[in-house]
Structure 1
Amino acid sequence: MLSLPSQLLLRNRELFDTGRWAIVNPSDTAIFAELGSNIMGLHQQFDSYKAMHAIAPEMHLFSAAFSREQIGEAFDGVVIYMPKAKQHLDMLLANMAHLIKPNSLLMVVGENKGGIKSVAKQLEKFGHLINKLDSAKHCGLITCTVETVPPSFDIGAYGVVRSYDVNALALKIYSLPGVFGHKQFDPGTQLLLQQFAQPEELRKMRGKLYDFACGTGVIGSYFKKANPKLKVTMSDISALAVFCSEQTLALNELEADVVASDGMQEIHQHFEHIVSNPPFHDGLKNEYGITQAFIKHAYAKGNRGSRLTMVANRFLPYPEHIEKTFFKYSVLCQTNKFCVYQGLK
């Protein structure tokens, strides 16, 4: 079944009968088949991009930011699915306003609980004739007419660089709105890395290390800086996270492989060390299946004797999955909020 925002879009399908349209970060890919084949998909999530690219590769793009060169002719209208972070929406609105024709529509669709009612104020920066076009199914569809198209868009204007002391190692971390760890050193990640604070132990680590759901790239970058001999691979489903991790590596003059991947589907090698602060949200909902699948795949992608080390909120149901999957299971440390788990293959 289509998501509620997509169902609201279908109530207004006549909008898409004329002109060239784009849909940004759809919550479900079935919306493209429902609305027609002339709509371009602009994706910052690799799973939705991969699914649609397999069907119509010329009509779908995956990127942290989108340019005129990528899309070709400017759009007559764009619909953005409401992201979780308001600053992320500001960034998307600025990007999309640059990609449409003068006097075209910039639209946002989303659920009431996701903050759609406050979108009108954000749209005021980009145009006029702001209107709630439709409201149903606990969702809203807000439109804005953009008279003057911004001449450019620079994603770098939204990037933030912070310096952190990580176990006595200085790291510069690049972050963007919508990426886990934006403007902060997450306390769960701090606790995880505290388990790897001894320089002599870090230097003993050999082989390949994998940072799953890398976000801003702090975990993979820490290990690479602490032990340059490690071959580090980092992955995330988000194009914004991939971009941030690449920038973080560059800021610290480090080299590692950064891969866009839905889970571990695009990871084709095996590792001695797998380290992660995995996600438990999918949009506004808790989603435990992502990490449960990761634990299973981490075992499959680990060499004999490999270790999975991960941090999670204490209430999350992961210990039993690690214990059932790995040869040995242990709790390295815990606080009143987090636990750091380790599995040995």
Structure 2
Amino acid sequence: MLSPPSQLLLRNEALFATGKWAIVNPSDTAIFDALSDADVCGLHQQCDSYNRAKSNSYGHEHMFAAAFSKSDFDAVFDGVVVYLPKAKQHLDMLLANMAHLIKADGLLLVVGENKGGIKSVPKQLEKVGINVNKIDSAKHCGLIACTVSEPAEGFDINQYGVVRNYHVNAQHMRVFSLPGVFGHKQFDQGTQLLLAQFSDERELRQMRGKLYDFACGTGIIGAYFKLTNPKLNVTMSDISALAVYCAEQTLKLNELEAKVIASDGMQDIHQHFDHIVSNPPFHQGLKNEYGITQNFIKNAHAKSNKGSRLTMVANRFLPYPEHIQSTYHKYSTLIKTNKFCVYEGIK
């Protein structure tokens, strides 16, 4: 069944009757099947959405990237629809990117739920276009449009990036972040508590083998271990193309080398590890989603060597201890605050 934003979009499918269109970060890829007769391609920054769209063979072109350029396509678009992201700054970045891909007098639209902030979108669209208006509203959603009279000459994602200097235990690090990525402009308290459990540099230098940072975000966890112990073989992954880009930039800023992979959970992780360290997500869009981390705990155990450790931080209210305890040979809580817990499982 189509999500409410997609249902609203389908009510206005006459928009797609002529010209070449792009749909950006759809909340459900079934919209492409519903628009099977339209000349529509999908632009994805989440690899789960991208993989579903590709595998279902909707007959449309799909791309996965942190940012998109004119050289990626045969022609500029007559119109683009952006599904409203959670962060306003992320939307600003997407609109600027899409304004570069639209032909003169092309349409740029945003669709989303009222509770997601669609009512504030007109002010954001005024930054890139003219004739801003609400096309339709239903099912607690809105569809807002503007005309891009003069397409932007170019788009540089790095203009939206922020570099912060952090002291992580005894190490100084530079961290790159983008809007829409966990850890943007801040050193998350949970991550700080997690890394505080690895403050003994002598013990860190004695670590050997392969380390995995799941849901790496800006890459601060994996980069910290690589910076402290260059002998570690570090792999980081995230479902977001933006996060993968941030982690790669963080590694460059600190002159480090590690593998960064775009992966839906651990689906594209094909090796076993000696250490797994993570501050895993529990949100999917605006909703809490505990299944992501529950699957991660199960898959982390399956892709660990005997004796390896899983160390993860989570909000205290999240129901993860029983999953670690039932999956791993040994389980312990390393530290507990009024907000976070750091858990450890040993295979």
TM-score range, shorter chain: over 0.9
* Code of the aligned partner of 1:323: Q
1:24 paired with 2:24, answer yes
Q: Which runs of structure 2 are paired with 1:306-321 in the superposition (5 Å)?
A: 306-321=308-323
Q: Deviations over 1:145-174 (max 9, x none)?
A: 010111000001000000000011010000
Q: Which amino acid counterpart does residue 264 of structure 2 have in structure 1?
A: D
Instruction: Indicate the residue corresponding to 2:334 in structure 1.
Output: 332
> Which residue is equivalent to 1:12?
12
Tell me the distance in 2 between the aligned counterparts of 1:261 and 1:333.
29
Match for 1:209 among 194, 208, 211? 211
**Deviation digits for residues 255-309 of structure 1, max 9, x if unmatched?**
0000000000000000000000000000000000000000000000000001000
List aligned pairs for 1:4-83, cutoff 5 A. Answer: 4-36=4-36, 38-54=39-55, 55=57, 59-83=61-85
Quick one: distance in 2 between partners of 1:72 and 1:320? 52
Q: Distance in 2 between matches of 1:52 and 1:307?
A: 35
Tell me, in whole angstroms, the C-alpha distance in 2 between the residues paired with 1:46 and 1:166. 30
> Residue 106 of structure 2: SS of its match in structure 1?
strand
Matched residue type, 2:43: L
CA distance in 2, matches of 1:212, 1:71: 32
> In the superposition, relative to structure 1, how do residues 256 and 57 fare at CA in structure 2: closer, same or farther (>3 Å)?
farther
Matched, 1:279 2:281: yes
CA distance, structure 1, for counterparts of residue 239 and residue 197 of structure 2: 26
CA distance in 2, matches of 1:214, 1:173: 12
Q: How far 1:58 moved relative to its partner?
A: 6.8
- Structure 2 unaligned regions, length at least 5: none
Q: Which residue of 2 aligns with 1:251?
A: 253
Following TM superposition, by how much is the alpha carbon of 1:51 offset from its aligned partner in structure 2, in angstroms? Answer: 1.6
- Counterpart CA distance in 1 for 2:12 and 2:315 is 41
Match for residue 92 of structure 2? Answer: 90
Does the residue aligned with 1:268 lie in a helix, a strand or coil? Answer: coil
Distance, in Å, in 2 between the alignment partners of 1:85 and 1:57 is: 31
> How far, CA to CA, are the matches of 2:332 and 2:59 in structure 1?
45
Once the two structures are superposed, the pairs formed by residues 71-150 of structure 1 within 5 Å of their partners are 71-150=73-152
- The within-5 A match list for 1:182-261 is 182-261=184-263
Q: Residue 306 of structure 1: SS of its match in structure 2?
A: strand
Structure 1 gap ranges (5+): none
Q: Which amino acid aligns with 1:206?
A: R
TM-score by length of structure 1 reads: 0.99
Distance 1:197 1:272 in 2: 19
Aligned AA for 1:307? R
How much has 1:17 moved relative to structure 2?
1.1
- The aligned amino acid for 1:219 is I
1-side partners of 2:320 and 2:114: how far apart? 31
**Cα displacement (A) at 1:57:** 8.3
Deviates more, 1:36-45 or 1:135-144: 36-45
User: Which letter does structure 1 place at the counterpart of 2:42?
Assistant: G
Within 5 Å, give how 1:150-161 maps onto structure 2: 150-161=152-163
1:173-188 → structure 2 map (5 Å cutoff): 173-188=175-190
Q: What is the DSSP-based 3-state SS (H/G/I as helix, E as strand, rest coil) of the residue aligned with 2:120?
A: helix
* 1:204 shift after superposition: 1.2
Q: Which residue number in structure 1 is paired with residue 304 of structure 2?
A: 302
1:56-103 CA distance string (max 9 Å, x none) = 687000000000011220000000000000000000000000000000
Give the alignment's TM-score, normalised by structure 2.
0.98
Residue type of the partner of 2:159?
A
2:171 aligns to what? 169
Q: Which amino acid aligns with 1:128?
A: I
* Cα shift readout 1:99-141 (whole Å, capped 9, x = no counterpart): 0000010000000000000000001111111110000000000
SS state at 1:290 partner: helix
What amino acid sits opposite 2:54 in the alignment?
Answer: H
Amino acid at match of 2:333: V
1:242 and 1:141 map into 2 onto residues whose CA distance is 30
Cα distance in 2 for partners of 1:144, 1:291 equals 39
Distance of 1:57 and 1:184 partners within structure 2:
41
Q: Equivalents in 1 of 2:289, 2:17: separation in Å? A: 36
Distance 1:71 1:62 in 2: 13
AA aligned opposite 2:179: P
Secondary structure of the residue that 2:128 maps to in structure 1?
A: coil
- Cα distance in 2 for partners of 1:72, 1:192 equals 47
C-alpha distance in structure 2 between counterparts of 1:34 and 1:211, whole Å: 37
In 2, the alpha carbon distance for the partners of 1:88 and 1:57 equals 28
Kept in 1, the 8 Å contact 2:274–2:308? The answer is yes
Q: For residue 121 of structure 2, what is the amino acid of its counterpart? A: V
Instruction: Give the secondary-structure state (helix, strand or coil) at the position aligned to 1:177.
Output: coil
Structure 2 letter corresponding to 1:49: Y
